[in-house]
Amino acid sequence: MSTRLSKGGRLIDRAAPQEFSFNGKRLRGLSGDTLAAALLANDQMLLGRSFKYHRPRGLVAAGPEEPNAIVGLGRDGRFEPNQRVTTTELFDGLEAASQNHWPSLEFDVGVINNSLARFLPGGFYYKTFMWPRAAWKHVFEPIIRRSAGLGKAPTARDADRYEYSYSFCDVLILGGGIAGLQAALVAGASGARVMLLEQAAHWGGRAPVDGDVIDGKPADVWINSAVQALAALENVTMRLRTMGAGVYDHGYVLAEEKIADTTPGDGRPKHRLWRIRASQIVTATGAIERPLSFAGNDIPGVMLAGSVREYVVNYAVSPGDRTVVVTNNDDAYRTAIALVQAGLAVPCIVDARASVTGDLPAKARAMGIRVEAGKAIAKVKGGKRVTGVSLCVQAGEGAVLEEISCDSVAMSGGWSPVVHLWSHCGGKLIWDKTHAHFRPDADRPPTGADGLAMVVPVGNANGAMTAAEVLVDAAKGGAAAALAAGFKAEAVAAVADAAPEAAMEAVWIMPQGAGPALKAKMWLDYQNDVKVSDVQLAAREGYESVEHTKRYTTLGMATDQGKLSNINGLAVLAGALNAEIPNVGTTTFRPPYAPVTLGALAGESRGAIFQPLRKTPMHGWHEKNHAYF
């Protein structure tokens, strides 16, 4: 079961308990928790139901990429549907309710669709509801409309207020991890007007969670020092809880700032929409971990390895007493090590690579963790929570070699740079075969009105995957942005300890020779219930364009915009077409990066000033003299 650990938790305050409710049940968390962490701490593994098959869904991630844990927050005039628990800060009195089920989350009659899955494959709606014609209007359409959507639209008038704000700067940096901080230090030292935005409530990103050491000190220490140095510069503006939502022509950027989410009714605007003009834009948006595609990878308790590590280190929350780690790269070993250091059990690390060497695997073995090389998960056992896994050979077809009892699974299929903001305004991508991901193509950047590059990607967002590489790349990017804005800067970078990592191995299907029965339970898009078998069916039926496949299967069309599913889906499609992944291409990245509250987009334009009438000074005289308008 998931629980709160007695020690640790770098972001929580154990002396400040917070009470909240989920589906009417009173629960308790701690100040500093996200709603996701607080729910896990209370062993609330089941958080929602999937869209089509109404399968049980739990947490997968820890950030805006979360596809499953979507809830309704608040009530009456402050009710807001489809909110991610992973990006919602906990506060005393918070009310949350799960969505997309009837009559209850635990017992949902819609799950009957799961039993009918063989009759509801990808694209089934293009082939059904066609006969008899008269039934469409009176039978099919009413049922479909009633089934559509996840949350319920608010019915009461919004009780909160919102506002616009405007800003101009020479260098705008989106992302406040170590890459963004390093780029800001370099650009700020040049004298350029710098604006640094971070969507989370804390600076530093994943570096403290990963245990990075910078300039001979723990990452936390370097981050605090960098923040203090930036705060002392008059030409640098810093804002937390502010998400860069979209990059547009002429250096125009929209960003949404959360102001009073945790203090409803205090008189301040709930959100502020920033309209920013920047000479140069630096995207330090990090990377997103990819899931692995194995049967049962959607059962509550199966999570991304990096997210498991984040919950343990940041919030002292364990997703389970016994966690099996499955991976194709070295980074997941950090999660296994962190779990054991927290006093939890890791019965096995399942590594798809035939040979597993390097410092991190060696450290894991020295701690007594069993490592199985060349192995895979054939399937996950369980219904509403994980109860165990079956192991098989990755090169085989899924014949079970062993069953291991566990209550959580931490998976890692590699990391993909967050390229959305780079791509919004025309930036192109290039396939990096070494890391099996798309990254920005420096030769084809987004350009401004002068035809010159206006966006500079840095750090993980640029394909630099170790802390040492990230800091060097960020310093170069910050200096390049300052220079392009007309300022002279020196690319002086902090130095991070560089622990060597072995090469990852691209794994798109686990095991690689899995048959139809297993592929029908390998989930790509968790929210929209798109499976490996659906994408392969689309390819067989002639949908060779990735955009056509997306629409046929609804892959990547959920509220997470395919942040977890798109790369895996592209790879499966490429395999089905016997084509290279870069030749298949990518879908289009469109703003916003994550959903923006409609109230923030409207701002003050509501009620009496929704559409204000401007009158000339002579208007009163005209009325008195019976002018006709």
Between CA 26 and CA 7 the distance in angstroms is 24
Between CA 14 and CA 9 the distance in angstroms is 9
For 153-197, the pLDDT digits (tens) are 999 999 999 999 999 999 999 999 999 999 999 999 999 999 999
The CA-to-CA distance between both ends of the chain, in Å, stands at: 71
| pTM (predicted TM-score) | 0.95
pLDDT at position 320 over 80 = yes
Residue 384: its pLDDT value, please?
95
Read off the pLDDT band of 629 (50, 70, 90). confident
Q: Quick check: do 162-288+417-484 and 311-413 share a fold? A: yes
Where does 311-413 sit in CATH, by number? 3.50.50.60
pLDDT at position 242 over 90 = yes
Q: What are the tokens at 455?
A: 């966006």
For 108-123, the pLDDT digits (tens) are 999 998 888 888 888 8
Between CA 440 and CA 462 the distance in angstroms is 6
Rounded-to-5 percentages of helix, strand, coil across the chain: 30, 25, 45
pLDDT at position 583 over 90 = yes
Contact in structure between 439 and 408 (CB atoms under 8 Å): no
User: Mean pLDDT for the chain?
Assistant: 95
Q: Which amino acid is at 308?
A: V
Tell how strand 349-351 and strand 371-373 pair up.
Answer: parallel
Q: Rg for the chain (alpha carbons), in Å?
A: 25
- Burial class (CB within 10 angstroms; exposed 0-12, middle 13-18, buried 19+) of 551: middle
Contact in structure between 455 and 174 (CB atoms under 8 Å): no
pLDDT at position 609 over 90 = no
Contact in structure between 338 and 206 (CB atoms under 8 Å): no
So what CATH class is 3-147? alpha beta
Least Cα distance to 479 among 512, 449, 456, 450 occurs for: 456
Between CA 54 and CA 105 the distance in angstroms is 10
Least Cα distance to 179 among 64, 283, 35 occurs for: 283
Read off the pLDDT band of 146 (50, 70, 90). confident
What is the average per-residue pLDDT within 196-225? 97
Whole-number percent of the chain with pLDDT over 90 = 88
Q: What are the tokens at 366?
A: 């020295």
**Where does residue 378 fall: left (phi above 0), alpha (psi -120 to 50 degrees), or beta otherwise?**
alpha
Residue 470: its pLDDT value, please?
97
Beta bridge partners of 236: 194
Contact in structure between 482 and 190 (CB atoms under 8 Å): yes
Q: Is 127 helix (H, G, I), strand (E, B) or coil?
A: coil
* Buried residues in 75-97 as b, exposed as e (16+ CB within 10 A): eeebbbbbbbbbbbbbbeebbbb
Distance of CA 115 to the CA centre of its chain: 30
Between CA 514 and CA 520 the distance in angstroms is 10
pLDDT at position 147 over 80 = no
Residue 120: its pLDDT value, please?
82
Residue 93: its pLDDT value, please?
97
For 56-88, the pLDDT digits (tens) are 999 999 999 999 999 999 999 999 999 999 999
Between CA 331 and CA 63 the distance in angstroms is 18
Between CA 549 and CA 586 the distance in angstroms is 11
Where does 517-602 sit in CATH, by number? 1.10.10.1100
Q: Domain residues of the chain, as ranges? A: 3-147, 162-288+417-484, 311-413, 517-602
Residue 114: its pLDDT value, please?
87
Q: What are the tokens at 419?
A: 């390229």
Q: Is 391 helix (H, G, I), strand (E, B) or coil?
A: strand
Between CA 133 and CA 63 the distance in angstroms is 45
Block residue for tokens 């008189």: 267
Read off the pLDDT band of 126 (50, 70, 90). confident
162-288+417-484 CATH fold: FAD/NAD(P)-binding domain (3.50.50)
pLDDT at position 499 over 80 = no
Residue 148: its pLDDT value, please?
77
Per the model's pLDDT, the better-predicted residue between 129 and 527 turns out to be 527
Between CA 628 and CA 608 the distance in angstroms is 24
Q: Which amino acid is at 624?
A: K
Which pairs count as long-range contacts for 548-553, CB under 8 Å and 24+ apart, including other chains? 549/573, 550/587, 552/122, 552/123, 552/126, 553/122, 553/123, 553/525
